[in-house]
Every structure is written in structure tokens, then in C-alpha cells.
Amino acid sequence: MDKQATTKKEIQQNLLHWFDKNKRDLPWRKTKDPYKIWVSEIMLQQTRVDTVIAYYNRFIESFPTVEDLAAADEQDVLKHWQGLGYYSRARNLHKGAQMVREQFGGEFPKEPDKVKKIPGIGPYTAGAILSIAFNLPYPAVDGNVLRVFSRVFAIKEDIAQPQTVKLIQQKAAAYMPEGHEGNFTEALMELGALICIPVSPLCLTCPLFHQCEARLQGIQDELPVKRKKAKPRPMHMVFCIIGCGTEILIVQNPFGRLLKGMWGFPGQEGSTGKDEETVERILTELGIAASGVQKWGTARHIFTHMDWDMHIYRCEAESKQAVGQPHRWIGKEETDQYPFPKVYQKILSRIKW
């Protein structure tokens, strides 16, 4: 057996043995149900494992099968997602469940081309579900796996570049051990999360200590190479808390695709020093006559690409006029019935009813 084949076998065996002894006890690891693995993988995108566990358990309790999710009301799905952010994930998961029900008879497909047609599922998620649920040889290459392979093979190309991702996908596929594809996929993810971490990797406890080219070259802290992300764009935002008696006005989908389907407060981007003009414009577009406009406070919320500096005003509507967009007038006891993203929860939690 040549050196390359020996190294490949050592990597496979060492990684699988380490995973067997050190894997975390996570609820989605107790099942091979592709639906439940799918839910976990979508939730884990952009979200910490510790945060996901409680959301996953509640979600599966409410929607235990793909048929249950497909039959659910979107607002109910979004309510269960409230606080996780990136709400397009929940909408796509709901649409995807309906597609699995209608096009695949409720059975999750095993063919990559079919899987990738499901809303919200790209190459990584497809690979994760197919390998973990069905033990099929399709790699799941996320940030953790990109980091691990860039170090193990001393890959110095930018991992943000498509050609580098493709190279690592090919290597990951070539290294998947037959019959253990699912465990190998999870082991790579786990190694990146616990040992081969972004800063100061824990090389002394790594099962690939002797196989890692970056460590042997002393460049593990320099890899992976990745271009820096642009900073979120600062935005001056103005919001209105419009009351009428003991109720306040909430509107649906106030910012297009960003928070589609969610509920929040009327608002617009404004200019520093011109908040009053923005408030007047918001009220005019809503068709609401209001009085007693007062500055109520400020808050801040950072999205991936935007940094909202929020200026919040309170006023009283003369009556519950018809508003030219989906809306509700709600009392304090009704707030739990609507899905509010974190940006609006910051406002909602401070309202004095």
C-alpha cells in the first residue's frame, strides 16, 4: 500500500474513532429520519448548536413529520422559528415539505438532482442529508469542512473562491469511507466545531495530528485563506409605535424579502436630523391621522449586510382606520399569536401598555 493510500486510511480510521468517542449528544443524532436531519441542518445554518437544540425539539414536537409541516400554516411555522433569524430558511423549509409531499409522495428523495430542487437545499445541505440519513457517498462541505481540509492538505487558495470549494468537495468525496459515509460527514463537522477551530486550533488533541500538512509545516494558524467580508451597511431607520386605546398597530412584511411573512412596526429608512419628516411620511402612506408624536427611544440591530440604527417614535391614532397593507390592531395579550423577528422583539419588549 503506497503512502497516499496509507494516509487516507489513517485519516478515515482516526477521524471515525475520535468521533465515536467524542461526539456531542445532540437530538438529531438519534435519528436517521431524513426529514428531521433536514430540519436540523437548516436550523444550524448561521446559528449556534446550543441555540438550535431547544428550537429543534419544539419544532419537531409540533411538526413531527414532513406531512405535518407541509399541512401547517406558514404563520405557525414562522412563529416556531421566531428568534432564530434568517426567516427565509423557515419559509423554504415549509415550501420544501409541501414539494416533498406533492412531488415525491411524502418520501424524501435519494437522488442529488431531485434533492437540490427542493427550496432552500443547496449542495451542502443535500450532501448532509443524503450521507447522514442514507449513508450515500455525497460530501457536505460547510465552513467547518473547508477549514479542516484546507489545513489537513495545506490548501493555500482562498476558500471563498468557487474553484477552491470544488477542490475540497472532490477531496471530501474521495475520502468518504464506504459504509461509513454518514459518520464521516458528521465527524468532519464535529472536528471543525470542537478541535480545528478558526483561531488557535487545538492541534495537540486532534485525531489528525500526524496527518495534517498545515501543522507539519507550522502554518495551521495561517489557514484557511479567506477574503474579509464587507462590513454591514449603516442605516438610519425610523419606526412608529402607533397606538389606539389599548391596542397598537402591527404590519406584515414591512421590508420586502428581508422579513417576508413576519410582523413588525411601520418603518422606513430615514436621514439623520429628519426623523419628523420620516414619521410624517410613514403616517401619510398608512393613511393614519395621529397626534402626540414623541421620541420613544433608540435601539440597534445588526443583520448580515445591514446595521440598523433605529429611532422609535410613539403616537396615538385618532381611530383604527383602514391601512393600505396587511395589518392588525392588537392588545398586549395577542402579541404571542404573531411571529416577530428579533429586531421587533427589541421594540415590543419595552412597550408600556
Highest mean pLDDT among 4-13, 99-108, 318-327, 338-347: 99-108
Residue ranges, CATH 3.90.79.10, the chain: 233-348
Fold classification of 233-348 is Nucleoside Triphosphate Pyrophosphohydrolase (3.90.79)
Query: For residue 223, what is the DSSP state?
Result: -
Q: What is the pLDDT of residues 41-93, one digit of tens each?
A: 999 999 999 999 999 999 999 999 999 999 999 999 999 999 998 999 999 99
Who's near 5: CB < 8 A, 6+ residues apart? Answer: none
- The DSSP-derived string for 100-131 is HHHHSTTPPP--HHHHTTSTT--HHHHHHHHH
CA 313 to CA 241: how far, in whole Å?
6
Is 178 within 8 Å of 137 (Cβ atoms)? yes
Is the per-residue pLDDT at 256 higher than 80?
no
What's the pTM? 0.84
Is 67 within 8 Å of 96 (Cβ atoms)? no
Structure confidence at residue 344 as a pLDDT band (50, 70, 90): very high
Residue ranges, CATH 1.10.340.30, the chain: 3-217
What pLDDT, on a 0 to 100 scale, did the predictor assign at position 1?
A: 42
What pLDDT, on a 0 to 100 scale, did the predictor assign at position 261?
A: 83
CA 287 to CA 184: how far, in whole Å?
59
Which sign, positive or negative, has the C-alpha torsion 274, 280, 283, 284?
A: negative
Catalogue the active-site residues.
41
Fold classification of 3-217 is Endonuclease III; domain 1 (1.10.340)
Question: What are 163's three cell numbers?
Answer: 474553484
Q: What is the pLDDT of residues 36-50, one digit of tens each?
A: 999 999 999 999 999
User: If you average pLDDT over residues 314-342, what whole number do you get?
Assistant: 90
